[in-house]
Each structure stands twice: as C-alpha cells, then as structure tokens.
Structure 1
Amino acid sequence: MFRGAYTALVTPLHHDRLDEPAISRLAEQQIAAGIHGLVPCGTTGEASTLSTSEHLRVVELTVQAAAGRVPVLAGAASNNTRHAVELARACKQLGAAGTLQVTPYYNKPTQAGLVAHFTAIAEASELPVVVYNVPGRTGVDLLPETVATLARHPLIVGIKEATGDMARIARIRELLAGNDRFDLLSGDDFTLLPFLALGGHGVISVTSNVAPRWLAQLCDAAAANRWDEARSWHYRQLPLCRALFAQPNPIPVKSAMALLGRCHPDMRLPLLAIDPQSRDGQALADALQSLGLTP
C-alpha cells in the first residue's frame, strides 16, 4: 500500500506561523520530482511543537496539494492513545490514505501495551496504520516478534523501521514470510540500499526533502532489480545524508531547504536553525553546492 520513496516533509514556518503557500508549494515540488508519497507532521515536520489545529491544517494542505496523485501518510502520533485516535480520525476526514504512528515516547509501554496502542488506533480510526520504530528518540523498542503480531491486523499495514540495524530488518522479514501485504519502510537513509536488498519496500526519507528524484530513482531501481543503478543512486545520496544529519534532524534539512530557497529557516524552540555564517552553516552550503544542489 505504501511503497517506494516517501518524503518526511519539513513544515515551513515564518514568524512562528505556518507558511501555507510554502507548504503547498513543497508538496507540489516533491510530486513533480517523482516522489511516491508524502508524510506530513512527522519528526521532520516538527509535529511535537505544532498545535492540534496547526497539525491538521498541514495535513489538509498536503492532501489538497497531492490531489490524489500520490498517497499522503499523515503523521498522527501521540503517547496518549486517546489523542492519537482523535488525530487519526481527523486525518481520515481530511482525506489521508493512512497514518504514521510512532511508539509512545516517555511512557515506555510493554510490548503488549504497544500492541494494544496501535490496535486501538487502527480500529477506532478505521484507517491504515504504519507503525514507526525509532527507539533512539522514543526510549521504547518495538521488537520484531511484536511487529509480526501487529502485521496480522488487517489495518496495520507496515512499519517504518529506523534503527539502522540490518539484522533487525532481516529478522522482521523472516517472521513475515508469506505476508506480502505488510510494507517494510526504512527510516534511515544511510542504510537504505541494504534495507531494500534484504526485502524492504521503500523509505520514509529526510534526504528526499532536498533531493526527491534521487531517492525515488533509487527505490524504483531496486524494485526493478536494477541493483547497479540502485547502488549508484545510494552512494550519490550518502554525502547529502551526512550533511543533513550533522546536527539532530530536522535542524540541518530545514536549514538546507532555506539555503535552496524553498522555505524560510524558521524553527520552533527548543530547536534552532543553523546560522548560515557559522562553520556548520558554511559546511552545509558547501556540501549542497558540491553535489550540484543550488537554488
């Protein structure tokens, strides 16, 4: 259902307000570049500092811009199951194709609690759910055996796996043998090529904000078993990955998008944009220029 290269969209802000024209423009630029799907209001979209009304407005604008041309997998997560249900139901009303649901941060539920959380969201919203495992941010790990349990639910249709652990994805793939409907999406651009080679179906990418065509071509080549071509695209995007993760995401990618003239650099505290005149700012600008990425 959700396969190929999906962009974890930045959320353009200006003077601490949503930059609505830029939100719509970025979605259009992504689709024109061949991206397979859009993911608003995830970590990269600064969802943790958006109000509920802002969150839903970003989803609405993204759905409107996509106009059915690509799926919109809306971030609708919370560590409060009731709130996640409310967000997911609202995203369904707005026309999202599904929701991305991260493991509940801070609470640190058990594996049984994780199953109950994701199941409650799927059943209450009646919308496909892609679960998201990023223990480095959330403090809780969704184990492969738990993924296999969740994959039996008809509305839980995939996972964004962001550990970067290839043994982990191999184990999940092994446990899901015979289940061809469950989508395996990388949440780590650095390890995308081996992830796909192990049977993954795509990526929810930070890097594709800046270079959507590169990531789309990489996933297309892998899906068609053109591994030499996929390898070429992978190594092309690695220097960009390094530049975009020199500080915690989404600080560098938001700053890169500003350098490319695609949005303002504004971020919400506690995140701070990179000063273009600083060493990190100059390194980011040099990296973009060396890769032929210019305004």
Structure 2
Amino acid sequence: MTSPSSLSAPSAPFGRALCAMVTPFTDEGLLDLDGARSLAARLVAEGCDGLVLSGTTGESPTTSDDEKAALVRAVAEAVGDRASVVAGVGSFDTRHTVELARQAEQAGADGLLVVTPYYSKPPQDAVEAHFLEVADASGLPLALYDIPERTGTRIEPETMLRLAEHPRIVAVKDCAYDMMGTQKVMARTDLAYYSGCDEFTLALYAAGGVGYISTVANAVPRQLSSIVAAFDAGDTAGARQSQLQAMELIELMMGSGLPGAVTSKALLGALGLPAGPVRAPLRPAGREATDGLLAAYEGLRQAQLASA
C-alpha cells in the first residue's frame, strides 16, 4: 500500500483546472474537428490547463474508435504544450478498452481516463483486474473514473488502495458522492483526486484534492478556475464566493434532469460557440431549458462584474 509522504495534496498530474469537453458535431451530426480545435483553444485561453475528451460529456458511447482518435489528434494539435489532453477510453469490454488506450497513446494523448466497466456489474476482483490490464497496456498515466450512479459498480476504497500501488494509476475522477471513502483513500495514498461533480469542487479541493474535471467549465471556464486560484492564494472567502456564485448554473446544467452533454451543448450553441447537436439517444434541450441556462449564465456574468 502506498503511503503519502505528507498530508499535503499530491501533485496534479494532468493540471488542476480540467474541462470535460463536449465533442462538437456538425449540423449533419458529423465530427466537427475545426469546432473541436476552436473550442479547445478557447477553453485553454480562458483558464483550463487540461482537457478531458470522450468522457460522459463528450458522448463517448456514440463516437467511433476512429472519431475518438481523430479528436485527440486535433485537440492535441490545437493546444500544444499549453494543456494536458486526457482521453476517455473506458468501456464495458476490457479488450476494447486496451485497444482504445493504445490508440489514444498513438494519437498523442497525455493521459487516460478509464471508467469502471458498466452494465455487467463485475465484482471487485474483476474491476481491479480490468484496471491493471489497461494500466499495463500503454505507457500513459491513468485516472480512474468512479461514477457508480452511471456504471452500477463502485470502485470500493479497498480496491482503490490496492490499485494505487500501480505506478501508472495516478489519479481519480471522483463522482462517488462518498466523502468518507474518498478521504480514506486520500489519507493513505498519493492518488490525485479530481472532483467530477461541480458542486463539490471547493469541498474536495479543501480536503486535499488536486483540482476538478468539470462539465460546467465548457461554458464558464474562468469562473471554475477562479475557485482553485483563490483557494491557492489563501483567499478562502473568495473561493467560497466563486463556488456559490456558480451554483445556479451548476444546478441547471447538472441537476435539472438533463444530461450535462445536453445542457452544455444547448448553452454553448446559444452563445455561438462550437458544439452542434447531441447524438441519439440524447435529444436537444427545449427552448425553456435553454432560456433558463442563458439567464443563469447572464446572471453569473453580472455577478462577476459586480464583484470585480
């Protein structure tokens, strides 16, 4: 079992302010690589130091292997060394996940995001074996993606403790909603914990996390990065203010009953930014939902101006 050298936060292997980027499509539903390059460049210019591609928000279940590789190549080319590029490669099939990991490495990714195998509900020894096989398949560092609400299977804390011994398993995207289990693992390993739930960005960072992987950052990257920047500067009141200012938009984007890919693309499209439609089975947000998102976005912008 790994023992952290101190109780300070471990290093952030992929940056601190990461966006779970949408995958832009054309009006015809094709992969929009020019849009992806443009959106990636904007996100980095607006404060993101890492981009996660082909995750939940990136609609990975509906993109082909070739599209995933092309997306990594395009975004890596657009951001260069200004930000890390983390490729989502997880699936319910270990063999396919290994293939995607190798493909992402060849395409120029800096790291991998690997979700727990879903649908088949493997027991913990099978979950552990899956991650170890993927970690051995390439030379890239891995972030484990723990989101049991979607996968049906938790990466239990004891399993995390064992997986932390692998030299390429370096981080966790935490969507488990279990602060007790999360802090148990953080206290006993050097795994870098990223909040995958926007409402927990400040809470997890204050408890020893290293940053966030945010869906809401697609729309307001500066607001999200200001939370960790203020905390790092010792301005805990400012960090709290930035977190709470964003909560109306966070709730509408992540807690309204619509998937984050749907709300992100609705808001980005309304703002004239690259996004395009979602792919079925997802359906676009309606006018009322889009208007609500825009109103919350404008309210946040006004709050930022008032507190500047």
Normalising TM by the smaller chain, what interval? Answer: over 0.9
Aligned to 2:80: 67
Residue by residue over 1:52-94, the C-alpha shift from the partner in whole angstroms, topping out at 9 and shown as x without a partner, is 1111111111111111111111111111111111111111111
Match of 1:285 in 2: 294
For residue 89 of structure 2, what is the aligned residue in structure 1?
Answer: 76
Is it true that 1:89 corresponds to 2:102 in the alignment? yes
- Pick the aligned partner of 2:51 from 38, 50, 59: 38
CA RMSD, aligned part only? 1.4
Structure 1 residue identity aligned to 2:170: V
State the number of aligned residues. 287
Q: How far, CA to CA, are the matches of 2:275 and 2:136 in structure 1?
A: 38
Specify the alignment match of 2:36 in structure 1: 23
What is the CA–CA distance in structure 2 between the aligned matches of 1:224 and 1:202, rounded to whole Å? 14
Over residues 32-71 of structure 1, what are the superposed CA-to-partner deviations in whole Å (9 max), with x where a residue is unaligned? 1121101011000001000111111111111111111111
- 2:229 maps to 220
TM-score normalised by the chain length of structure 1: 0.93
Q: Are 1:261 and 2:269 counterparts?
A: no
Match of 1:183? 192
1:1-295 paired onto structure 2 within 5 Å: 1-14=13-26, 15-176=28-189, 179=190, 182-245=191-254, 246=256, 247-276=258-287, 279-292=288-301
Deviations 1:253-275 (A, max 9, x none): 11111111112441110101112
Assess if the C-alpha contact under 8 Å between 2:15 and 2:84 holds in 1.
no
Unaligned 5+ segments in structure 2 are 1-12, 303-308
Identity %: 37
Deviation at 1:226, TM superposition (A): 2.9
TM-score normalised per structure 2: 0.90
Go from structure 1 to structure 2 and tell me whether the alpha carbon gap of 1:146 and 1:55 turns closer, same or farther (over 3 Å shift): same
Partner SS for 1:68: helix
| Offset at residue 228 of structure 1 (A) | 1.8
1:163 & 1:9 partners in 2: Cα distance?
A: 20
How much has 1:131 moved relative to structure 2? 0.4
Contact 2:86 2:112 in 1 (8 A): yes
Deviation at 1:212, TM superposition (A): 0.7
Deviation at 1:229, TM superposition (A): 2.0
C-alpha separation in 2, matches of 1:271 and 1:37: 26
Higher relative contact order (CA 8 A, sep 6+): 2
Question: How far apart are the structure 1 equivalents of 2:238 and 2:296?
Answer: 23
Q: 1: distance between equivalents of 2:90 and 2:106?
A: 16
Q: Distance in 2 between matches of 1:231 and 1:291?
A: 14
Name the SS of the counterpart of 1:116 in structure 2: helix
- Residue in 1 that maps onto 2:3: none
Q: Indicate the SS of the match to 1:203.
A: strand
**Distance in 2 between the 1:167 and 1:43 partners?**
25
